[in-house]
Amino acid sequence: MQSTAQRQTFMEVAGRDVGSGGRLWAGRALSALAALFLAFDSVGKLLQVEPVVAGTRSLGYPETAVFGLGVTLALCVAAYVIPGTSALGAILLTGYLGGAVATHVRVGSPFLSHVLFPAYIAALVWGGLLLRDPRLRALVPRFGERGAPAGLGRRGEVMSQVISRDGTAIAYERSGNGPALILVDGALCSRSFGPSASLAPLLAPHFTVYRYDRRGRGQSGDMLPYAREREIEDIAALIREAGEPAFLLGLSSGGALALEAAASGIDIRKVAAYEPPYVGQNGNPGGADHERRLQELVAAGHRSGAVTYFMRSMVQVPAPFVLMMRLMPWVWRQLKAVAHTLPYDAAVMSEFKVPRARLRSISVPVLAMHGSRTDARLKLAAQEVAEAVPGATHRVLAGQTHNVKPGVLVPAVVEFFSA
């Protein structure tokens, strides 16, 4: 059923651009950048330029293969730049670039600068195509939802608002059946951007799921000055709307907010927190300096600067990945839209140190989780949360990082909340 609808939408927009002129030209620019680089590489191989030949030999290929690689790459680039075959060209280039990644892995090249470089080019290839081709955008759910009538969310979801204690309107969506469960997002996330959209359908068979825009994000309002207590009151308003005590599932700083809500004594059944980032323990940098710097950047109107500072200085995302995100305007625009709430998350995190005294006051069951492949600081944080909360359960999710897979997280949550 879904694929049929997607095919219909694809055919409706084929041959006409339904996006903005800025989007179209940004797509052309990204595509041109990728095509020019790849064309230059293919010409070097076709002309047997010595540095290109030597570089290919250093990767373990015989000199006789260089010309064939050049022909293959030239054909892929040609297919990509011709509008009628651009999607086919992107697929072929993805295969070619995937082989380049595998080659660099095989010879032990540096990870960020060499192994991942073909992936950076692939991101340009697909990012440019997504921006300039409305047929491809029609297949991407985020773009397809823009024209949805007001009040309608994804299938089976009801969109509404609840008024918090200070008069702020908090937007939320409800789906599923069963006891109430509230999803609490982490930094930069909202209903339209983040993990809650993937988690809700998996939780809906077991719970009535409430996912909401934290204040200042999406369709929710805001009121200054900010205080952590206001966000706790937002959760309390959702619980009143549900008409019963609720389960809370919080991810990252949303996990810390869920724990703070439990410590406040509002009507909560149980809390599951995945990797609350209390990374300021044991002399690790962070704390008030991060919150202060974020406040300065937001106050000066430097939203891009605030997002970059958060990613590079706080989350320690490698610079090339931040650059790639900045080259994807549909992503960077969403991050900038909620950048002013980054100081809110820093305030929730209590200088990024485990608030042991407050956690000791929690009287409801708590599950603190982390992935087996995550940052050592996040592992330690989850363990210390479990030690601080009376009777809390600690669980490790095998193979997971901070970006936990919904299909792994949800069974653990359902098991804990159903016990």
Highest mean pLDDT out of 81-90, 122-131, 265-274: 265-274
Residue 392 is predicted with a pLDDT of 98
Residue 157 and residue 380: Cα distance in Å, rounded? 37
Residue 7 is predicted with a pLDDT of 37
| pLDDT over threshold 70, residue 149 | no
Q: Supply φ then ψ for residue 329, to 5 degrees.
A: -60, -30
Q: Supply φ then ψ for residue 350, to 5 degrees.
A: 50, 55
pLDDT band at 274, cuts 50/70/90?
very high
Asked whether the whole model's pTM tops 0.75, one would answer no
Distances (CA, A) of 277 to 11, 53, 167, 345, 408: 45, 47, 30, 10, 20
Q: Mean pLDDT score of the chain, rounded to an integer?
A: 86
Q: Do the Cβ atoms of 367 and 392 come closer than 8 Å? A: yes
pLDDT band at 130, cuts 50/70/90?
confident
| pLDDT over threshold 60, residue 383 | yes
- Structure tokens that stand for 6 in this block: 């997607």
- Per DSSP, the residues of 374-403 read S-HHHHHHHHHHHHHSTT-EEEEETT--SS
CB atoms within 10 A of CB 16: 8
| pLDDT over threshold 60, residue 406 | yes
Amino acid identity of residue 319, one-letter, is A
CA atoms within 13 A on the CB side of 128: 22
Distances (CA, A) of 40 to 12, 77, 294: 36, 10, 41
Among the ranges given (84-88, 201-205, 317-321), the one the predictor scored with the smallest mean pLDDT: 317-321
Instruction: Give buried/exposed letters for 346-380 (b at 16+ CB in 10 A, else e).
Output: bbbbbebbbbeebbeebebbbbbbbbeebbebbbb
Each domain of the chain, given as residue ranges in start order, spans 2-144, 158-281+349-418, 288-346
pLDDT band at 138, cuts 50/70/90?
low
For residue range 16-62, what is the model confidence (pLDDT) as tens digits? 333 456 777 888 889 999 999 999 889 988 988 877 777 888 888 88
Give the architecture (CATH level 2) of 158-281+349-418.
3-Layer(aba) Sandwich (3.40)
Query: Region 146-163: what's the mean pLDDT?
Result: 58
For residue range 325-337, what is the model confidence (pLDDT) as tens digits? 787 777 788 899 9
DSSP class of residue 214? Answer: P
Residue 71 is predicted with a pLDDT of 94
pLDDT band at 115, cuts 50/70/90?
confident
Residue 127 and residue 30: Cα distance in Å, rounded? 7
Q: Are strands 169-176 and 208-212 parallel, antiparallel or unpaired?
A: antiparallel
